[in-house]
Chains A and B, each alone.
Chain A
């Protein structure tokens, strides 16, 4: 058995990543490269938002008191968010200045990496000892499959497309890959969740994830990057400079009108 507050903490860690990625994807709404992609990203963002909501609702029911999905999403600050650092990076890319144009290759390669990871995660969590989490996982798994198909198709199209699209996809892959290390580096909470049957052994996801990603890179004629020792710390609440701006925008309405209903 895992103590209730650690159980809630684990659920919030699972919820924050899809919420933050959902927000990044929603920034493309009205700005997609073509109408069909605008629709696709908005729908993927919606799925991720839905997954986050289900997890927040589940965590709130467990936590009791005044906990609620809105409190989790809108009234926690940067250090309380436990999303992976990769997902808060701006759509313009890792090394871009704030006002740089969004990069579709970066968005697509990140989606491919994340949905391939999510597929492995949800598949295992659908057997979680927490029946509520298992139900959310079984639902999210079906969605992750669609997201991965979409991102894979475009990664291949960019990779074996023109010299320019290939270069951008390769640059996205090179700059994003080190940020995935965090996904597979277990900390005390991961270990506790895995041992209790609530969570997964996150290191065990790396092998099958790498098989998927290397196969995708090969089909896209991209070179899979060398291993890196870089380890981001988002899931511990230590974020880069981008999350604060993201939350400021995402939370502004709820904070300006707390307790508002419509």
Chain B
């Protein structure tokens, strides 16, 4: 990026879209989850690239609409929002800070990298115990499973490695 003003503009856009809370897990932002893939100049105008978590995630369209609204409100009417599929989203893109926020909110973050699969049990986000059992492979959203802690007896959501 040769032009510092244009670079600063893209950074502002990145900050605006990146700060939008996820509609279903509002404690984390689009940047936290790795859903905001890139902001670049395409065909002379800013282009925001978003990626869906799951193919059927109902929040995908709401997220794109929120990004659009936020950009309009900030005066970036020329910026476009596009959904890209490749590379496929992975929980490996969820940063350390976001994992802490999820845990504080009562959602166990992915216990390992996406490659290890869904069978590695998480630690309880409330008491930290590893003595947990799966109640259901799917929870309140497609990206989560439902677990129960055998130590403190609390049920909790688990953000599945994916």
Binding site for B on A (CB under 8 A): 36-37, 39-40, 42-51, 53-54, 131-132, 134-136, 138-140, 142-143, 145-146, 149-150
Binding site for A on B (CB under 8 A): 52, 54-58, 84-89, 114, 117-119, 135-139, 142, 146, 160, 162
Given contacts A36-B136, A48-B56, A50-B56, contact A135 B88 (CB under 8 A): yes
Contacts of B142 in A (CB 8 A): 43, 46-47
Contacts of B87 in A (CB 8 A): 138
Smallest CB gap from B136: residue in A: A36
Verify B85–A135 contact, CB threshold 8 A: yes
Smallest CB gap from A131: residue in B: B86
Contacts of B55 in A (CB 8 A): 47, 50-51, 53-54, 136, 139-140, 143
Minimum CB–CB distance from A22 to chain B (whole Å) comes to: 8
Interface of A, helix, strand, loop or mixed by DSSP: helix
Closest 8 CB pairs of A and B: A50-B56, A50-B55, A36-B136, A46-B56, A135-B86, A135-B85, A43-B138, A139-B88
Smallest CB gap from B56: residue in A: A50
Contacts of B54 in A (CB 8 A): 46-47, 50, 143
Minimum CB–CB distance from B32 to chain A (whole Å) comes to: 20
Minimum CB–CB distance from A214 to chain B (whole Å) comes to: 22
Minimum CB–CB distance from A75 to chain B (whole Å) comes to: 21
Contacts of A146 in B (CB 8 A): 118, 137, 160, 162
Per the bound structure, the CA–CA distance linking A37 and B139 in Å amounts to 10
A-B contact pairs, 26 of them (CB 8 A): A36-B136, A36-B146, A37-B136, A39-B138, A39-B146, A40-B137, A40-B138, A42-B138, A46-B57, A49-B56, A50-B57, A53-B55, A54-B85, A134-B86, A135-B88, A136-B55, A138-B86, A138-B88, A139-B85, A139-B88, A139-B89, A145-B117, A146-B118, A146-B137, A149-B118, A149-B119
Per the bound structure, the CA–CA distance linking A46 and B89 in Å amounts to 17
Per the bound structure, the CA–CA distance linking A46 and B118 in Å amounts to 19
Contacts of A53 in B (CB 8 A): 55-56
Smallest CB gap from A45: residue in B: B56
Contacts of A149 in B (CB 8 A): 118-119, 137
Verify A46–B136 contact, CB threshold 8 A: no
Minimum CB–CB distance from B58 to chain A (whole Å) comes to: 7
Contacts of A45 in B (CB 8 A): 56
Per the bound structure, the CA–CA distance linking A44 and B136 in Å amounts to 13
Contacts of B85 in A (CB 8 A): 54, 132, 135-136, 138-139
